[in-house]
Amino acid sequence: MTPTARILKEITPRPWEVADYVRQGGYEAWQSCVTKWTREEVIAELKRAGLRGRGGAGFPTGVKWEKVLNHRIPEHYFVCNAGEHEPGTFKDRYLLKQSPHQLLEGSLIAARTVNAKSAFIYVNHEYVEELTNLRKAAEQARAKGFMGKNIFGTGLDLEIEFIEGQGSYVAGEETAMLESMQGRPAMPRQKPPFYPTDFGLYGKPTLVNNVETLCNVPPLLRNGAAWFTQVGTEKSPGTMFFSISGAVNRPGVYELPMGTPIRRLVYDCGEGIPNGRKPKAVFPGGPSFAMLTEDQLDTPMDFETLKKAGTGLGSAGVIVVDETTCMVATALKYANFFKVESCGQCPPCRMGTINLAAVLQKIEDGEGTEKDLASLMQLCGFVKGRGYCTVVTGAAVVVQSSLEKFRHEFDAHIAEKRCPSHPERVAVAGGVA
Ligand SMILES: Cc1cc2nc3c(=O)[nH]c(=O)nc-3n(C[C@H](O)[C@H](O)[C@H](O)COP(=O)(O)O)c2cc1C
């Protein structure tokens, strides 16, 4: 299966070259926004297209832009969230590297449409090459009069500033990102107020959008909403950039229509599981959403269907687990991730992630009891939905879904007093030999 190339048309060896991007129709939509269309017309087209955010929540993009534009407080900001730090998600990195002009164009359109006083792109500090490409692209765009001073000779001035992010998972949560931009630790704000559209950077209405969301904007406006909705599903139109990793022969980023079944991504794009093994589980939305099992591989990947299946699309970081992998060890691996990445600000997350990891470690080491399983489930129920952000909920969901789908593996660890996948590791008093 050939991935669809609708949003990212052509990959060039020097992606910062503005001439190559212009040849592909680049900056045409931006020019129309500045010289032809009203802000309201731009927003109406996004709403007609039904574009939804690609950063995790799937919020309707046009609605968000409209909220900021029409906010009673007149001082607005725009921030592109390129903080990407979730295990298994690397599609924004690909877009930043391969199509920096597309992101600049989408960001310029967004910032101007919501009447932003200042515009920023917040980039994961580990993305060194990507940031370099972005800076080189910006220099060329400025030289062409696409950004900076007197854009298209109209007298409009609009600059984009690049911010190196704090490099933690939580720093990608939009309110934590805004806190860190204000020189404070990257910790999510206590809600309410719920959204940066009401209380964002410096407490002012702020539009925050993901890299992929913004990369969708120039081709969508250039070709129109009817073109955009030709692929995808009714409620999740367009394509999605799926990152696939774990037990697959060809991990990578693939642009596919929303609603593509998981099986096609795993077998046609990812070329199946190494050594002809079977898949045991797939996390369709990264480690913060429940896993699906082999019998669910024909599930279409879009916001609604995955929600109905008890999981979520998130930012489409698809992780494949093969039949040889221990699910207690898998749950433990993610629990440890959440424990390390918790910012420690709110007690449910600080204590919850530590305790989840500790109990799972005990079971994996062959020292667990039935009582530990009960306390694991109780703990999950207690912390879910209780944090300032969704980190602790993600941790609980993974544990709950592994218990629900692979309870027999937990039971085997307890009965055999060891990990059946690692028979060489036997519990001894005080640790594991
Ligand atoms: C723990 C956590 C980490 C997140 N990391 C990112 C991220 O790296 N990039 C991103 O765009 N959104 C991330 N999000 C979602 C953002 O808070 C926000 O919803 C998104 O940037 C909005 O953009 P969109 O409407 O274009 O999807 C994260 C959310 C949470 C709870």
The ligand 1 atom nearest the CA atom of 212: 26
The ligand 1 atom nearest the CA atom of 81: 11
Centroid of ligand 1 to alpha carbon of 364 (angstroms): 32
Q: How many Å separate Cα 345 from the centre of its chain?
A: 22
Q: Give the residue ranges of DSSP H helices in 365-416.
A: 370-383, 391-405, 407-416
- Which pLDDT tens digit goes with each residue over 391-400? 999 999 999 9
Helix, strand or coil, per DSSP, at residue 49:
helix
Number of neighbouring beta carbons within 10 Å of residue 403: 18
Centroid of ligand 1 to alpha carbon of 102 (angstroms): 19
HSE-CB at 56 with a 13 A cutoff on CA atoms is: 19
Q: Quote the CA–CA distance of 20 and 10 in Å, as a whole number.
A: 9
Please give the structure tokens belonging to residue 78: 């725009």
The ligand 1 atom nearest the CA atom of 389: 31
Centroid of ligand 1 to alpha carbon of 372 (angstroms): 33
Q: Do domains 18-228 and 327-432 have the same CATH topology?
A: no
Helix axes 100-113, 211-223, angle to 10 degrees: 80
Centroid of ligand 1 to alpha carbon of 210 (angstroms): 7
Which amino acid is present at 393? T
Please give the structure tokens belonging to residue 261: 């079944």
pLDDT category of residue 424 using cuts at 50, 70 and 90: low
Centroid of ligand 1 to alpha carbon of 127 (angstroms): 17
**If residue 351 lies in a helix (H) or strand (E), which one and from where to where?**
helix 347-364
Distance of CA 96 to CAs 104, 146, 347, 391, Å? 10, 18, 36, 25
- Whether residue 291 contacts residue 318, with contact meaning beta carbons closer than 8 Å, is answered with no
The ligand 1 atom nearest the CA atom of 59: 25
Domain spans of the chain, in order of start: 18-228, 246-322, 327-432
- Whole-model pTM? 0.96
Q: Give percent of the chain above pLDDT 90.
A: 92
Among 174, 258, 341, which residue has the most ligand 1 atoms within 8 Å of its CB, making it the best to mutate? 174
Centroid of ligand 1 to alpha carbon of 116 (angstroms): 20
Q: Give percent of the chain above pLDDT 70.
A: 97
Residue 433 predicted with pLDDT over 70: no
Centroid of ligand 1 to alpha carbon of 276 (angstroms): 35
Among 47, 64, 77, 81, which residue has the most ligand 1 atoms within 8 Å of its CB, making it the best to mutate? 81
**If residue 280 lies in a helix (H) or strand (E), which one and from where to where?**
strand 279-287
Q: What is the CATH number of domain 246-322?
A: 3.10.20.600
The ligand 1 atom nearest the CA atom of 214: 26
- Which pLDDT tens digit goes with each residue over 194-241? 899 999 999 999 999 999 999 999 999 999 999 999 999 999 999 999
- Whether residue 183 contacts residue 192, with contact meaning beta carbons closer than 8 Å, is answered with no
Q: Quote the CA–CA distance of 308 and 233 in Å, as a whole number.
A: 15
Closest residue by Cα to atom 1, ligand 1, is 170
The ligand 1 atom nearest the CA atom of 124: 8
Closest residue by Cα to atom 23, ligand 1, is 209
Residue appearing with tokens 């932003």: 116
- Which pLDDT tens digit goes with each residue over 264-291? 999 999 999 999 999 999 999 998 999 9
Centroid of ligand 1 to alpha carbon of 168 (angstroms): 12
Among 175, 177, 208, which residue has the most ligand 1 atoms within 8 Å of its CB, making it the best to mutate? 208
What local confidence, expressed as pLDDT, does residue 289 receive?
Answer: 96
Q: What is the CATH number of domain 327-432?
A: 1.20.1440.230
233: CB partners within 8 A, 6+ apart: 258, 259, 300, 302, 304, 305
Centroid of ligand 1 to alpha carbon of 248 (angstroms): 26
Please give the structure tokens belonging to residue 12: 């060039």
What local confidence, expressed as pLDDT, does residue 432 receive?
Answer: 47
Q: Are strands 116-123 and 160-164 parallel, antiparallel or unpaired?
A: parallel
Q: Pick the closest to residue 318 from 373, 269, 372, 362 (CA basis).
A: 269
Q: Quote the CA–CA distance of 379 and 331 in Å, as a whole number.
A: 14
Q: Quote the CA–CA distance of 363 and 236 in Å, as a whole number.
A: 40
Which amino acid is present at 280? K
Number of neighbouring beta carbons within 10 Å of residue 304: 16
What local confidence, expressed as pLDDT, does residue 429 receive?
Answer: 46
318: CB partners within 8 A, 6+ apart: 88, 242, 243, 244, 245, 262, 265, 266, 282, 283, 284, 285, 286, 301
Centroid of ligand 1 to alpha carbon of 96 (angstroms): 16
Torsion angle of the four alpha carbons 216, 220, 223, 228, in this order, in degrees rounded to the nearest 10: 100
Distance of CA 227 to CAs 36, 243, 286, 379, Å? 20, 24, 29, 47
**Ligand 1 proximal residues by C-beta, below 6 Å:** 53-57, 59, 81, 83-85, 169-170, 172-174, 208-210, 213, 389-391
The ligand 1 atom nearest the CA atom of 172: 5
Centroid of ligand 1 to alpha carbon of 365 (angstroms): 35
Q: Quote the CA–CA distance of 184 and 169 in Å, as a whole number.
A: 16
- Which CATH class for the 18-228 domain? alpha beta
- Whether residue 123 contacts residue 131, with contact meaning beta carbons closer than 8 Å, is answered with yes
The ligand 1 atom nearest the CA atom of 177: 17
What integer is the mean pLDDT of 72-89?
96
Q: How many Å separate Cα 230 from the centre of its chain?
A: 24
What integer is the mean pLDDT of 332-360?
96
